[in-house]
Structure 1
Amino acid sequence: MPIVNLSLQVLPLVPEEKVYPIVDKVIKYIKSTGVNFMVGPMETTMEGELDILLDIVKKAQKICEEEGANRVISIIKLDYRSSGVTMEEKIKNYIDK
Structure 2
Amino acid sequence: MIDQGKSKRQEIKMLNRKLLEISGVLNVESFDSEEFLLETECGFLTIRGSNLHIKNLNLEQGLVAIEGLVNDLTYLDAHAPGKSSGFFGKLFK
TM more than 0.5: no
State the TM-score, normalizing by the size of structure 2.
Answer: 0.31
Higher relative contact order (CA 8 A, sep 6+): 1
The structure with the largest strand share of the pair is: 2
Q: Point out the structure with max Rg over C-alpha.
A: 1
